[in-house]
A and B are shown apart, each in its own frame.
Chain A
């Protein structure tokens, strides 16, 4: 009888109840919160559901040595986590993004490309702020990339520059991407007047298949020669787009934009979520990273809108003026930020559809953030 009691007592020590700390419960609650907003509000559900559940997986209390934790060499989770740690997953996601993105809006209106560059100010604004808060330059660079509003890019860069901060950076980036409609709308309204919001833009011209095929090749050669350190992201993005546009590799494009990106999204979401173990995640630094991440989104949105207003000063022809409400779309959360432009534009004039115009800076933002990541990696790596 005593032996059974001893065994039960020993078993109790193995359980999550015996090893539980309040930090675990906080992280589990955050995970449940993510799942809840993903399901109820449908905010980035494809990312927040895997991340939220991953957070719960990673924060089940246990004692080390069972070789099951994400930070224990050789465990299943650790093996899957290598794709994040070594940076394999983000380029694969970029391949899928390239294969599902239509760059026609950008090709037909090249002048809107620069809005995508202006919105990258969020990255560098957050970098400067992070430095002033005492982060090392490599950590500041990894935090700054949150302003690129691009989850895979944030994971890729932070895994190279500041692996210890990657969990907080990835969760912060994806959280704010989910909150793009909430964050951007007030800034857009604050920085524009009614007259500017009513500007109508011409419908983008139709782009031929030949132009769409030339785009990924020329785009890749140009950006990769300027920033070779962005090769994994830029290469896969443009390669995926060539698969889509060439018209002769439909099977490959379908796989890249369908099953492949889905599988990698599941793996990246769960493992990034599981990497937020309470003891590594609940720190003062993480709180600061969340604050800086929010500021980077604000700066990026404001920079995009203000840049459009600046360009408009130099455009004499009223018919060619750009609606500043598409400035926010330079933040590369595709297509959410472009959708915000459309929604806010229609609030002022229900017949003013800005979505197609906003897609140009939106996809330019994807290229811009990958270029910015390449620059930061080149300087700080």
Chain B
């Protein structure tokens, strides 16, 4: 069966299209390295954070702005676009996965210190640091380090909108905050905000009730209009005129004529004629038409039990 499916040319074409759509949807929806941002950098780190070797090295902070985990392994860090693959972040280290809205730090401590988060060149003032995608060409993000950046101060980008995390570069150097997402501190939860702004709940209640009613009023309007068309109260602009009935589907007069002709032919068979007449009537009302076009069907009624074997048993005489 499966072989047959794959041998069929049409089926292969369909499978190809479906697979392409699925692949496109999955890759488009996946959290990827394009969600990474170089959010902070410090060059002259004299008293701040130390690297895994205990040194006060210069560092950059990379933030994952997405809502899913992103693996930064395989990406590159460089300060020279003519050498986009200057430092490759190891692919095989599990710690290169950055959680949603989390950060990681890379220390620039030179070639003699080897580690996943130890970049093999030094960070310098006046340079631009780039994060390059794992294709070795596409620049994901960059951060310009001012030539006059004072010691123990950092250049950073701030997320003014904590929900959408749009990072904007700041002009002035700031006190370093390595490992903490840079935002303006307005990260209170919805409940905290409501507790502060609407302690008695009146505003939220009125707003919510309005929205619930609003949503259902929209549905009411839509289904009043569509119901009007379908029930015949309004004229349906999409309905074809009576002179041009849908191919294969008889109009009411034709259906009535067929019913009368059948009734005449089936003299004595009142039940059959009635059933056909009813089927045609219901077909015209579009209440029994199912998936197959040009076929009139009578839905099987389980309740009739016409084929129930117990009904065919010989009845015992009753006294």
Contact = CB atoms under 8 A, between A and B. Distances in A.
Contacts of B223: 106-107, 110, 113, 215, 218
A267 B286 CA distance: 41
Interface stretch (A24-32, A168-176, A366-374): A366-374
Contacts, number: 127
A367 B223 CA distance: 15
Contacts of B204: 127, 137, 379
Contact of B285 (A114, A206, A248): A206
A315 interface: no
B217 A114 contact: yes
Contact of A210 (B211, B215, B286): B286
A138 interface: yes
Given A140-B201, A208-B286, A368-B212, A379 B220 contact: no
Contacts of B195: 136-137
Nearest to A118: B213
Interface stretch (B152-160, B167-175, B226-234, B245-253): B226-234
B291 interface: yes
Interface in A330-381: 364, 367-368, 371-372, 375-376, 378-381
Interface centre among B190, B207, B226 (most CB of A within 10 A): B190
A301 to B, nearest CB: 17
A128 B222 contact: no
B200 A128 contact: yes
Contacts of A205: 231
Contact of B213 (A117, A223, A380): A117
Contacts of A106: 223
A249 to B, nearest CB: 11
Contact of A380 (B190, B226, B227): B190
A222 interface: yes
Contacts of B209: 120-121, 124
Task: Report the interface size class on chain A.
Answer: 35 or more
A371 B227 contact: no
A353 B16 CA distance: 54
Contact of A113 (B191, B211, B219): B219
Nearest to B222: A218
Contacts of B213: 114, 117
B68 interface: no
B186 interface: no
Nearest to A207: B230
B219 A110 contact: yes
Given A206-B287, A371-B212, A137 B219 contact: no
A376 B287 CA distance: 40
Contact of A378 (B190, B216, B231): B190
B224 interface: yes
Interface SS of chain A: helix
B226 A214 contact: yes
Nearest to A250: B291
B194 interface: yes
B56 interface: no
A208 B194 CA distance: 45
B315 to A, nearest CB: 35
Contacts of B189: 138, 380-381
Contacts of A215: 223
A226 interface: yes
B199 interface: yes
A218 B215 CA distance: 12
A60 B83 CA distance: 65
B290 interface: yes
A110 B217 CA distance: 9
B208 A364 contact: no
A166 B207 CA distance: 25
Contacts of B222: 218, 222
B207 to A, nearest CB: 8
Contacts of A367: 215-216, 219
Interface string A236-259: 000000000001100000000000
Nearest to A219: B219
B286 A371 contact: no
Contacts of A375: 207-208, 211-212
Interface in B256-296: 285-287, 289-291
A73 interface: no
Nearest to B209: A124
Contact of B201 (A107, A108, A114, A128): A128
Contacts of B224: 110-111
A248 B292 CA distance: 10
B170 to A, nearest CB: 30
A381 B220 CA distance: 29
A247 B211 contact: no
A138 B191 contact: yes
A115 to B, nearest CB: 9
B201 A226 contact: no
A209 interface: yes
27 contacts: A107-B227, A108-B227, A110-B220, A111-B224, A113-B216, A113-B220, A117-B215, A124-B205, A132-B200, A137-B195, A137-B204, A140-B201, A205-B231, A207-B230, A209-B286, A210-B230, A210-B286, A211-B227, A218-B219, A218-B223, A222-B218, A227-B211, A367-B219, A368-B216, A371-B211, A375-B207, A379-B190
Interface of A: 106-108, 110-111, 113-114, 116-117, 120-121, 123-124, 127-128, 131-132, 136-138, 140-141, 161, 205-211, 214-215, 218-219, 222-223, 226-227, 247-248, 364, 367-368, 371-372, 375-376, 378-381
Interface pairs A-B: 7 shortest CB-CB: A138-B191, A110-B223, A137-B194, A117-B216, A124-B205, A137-B191, A208-B286
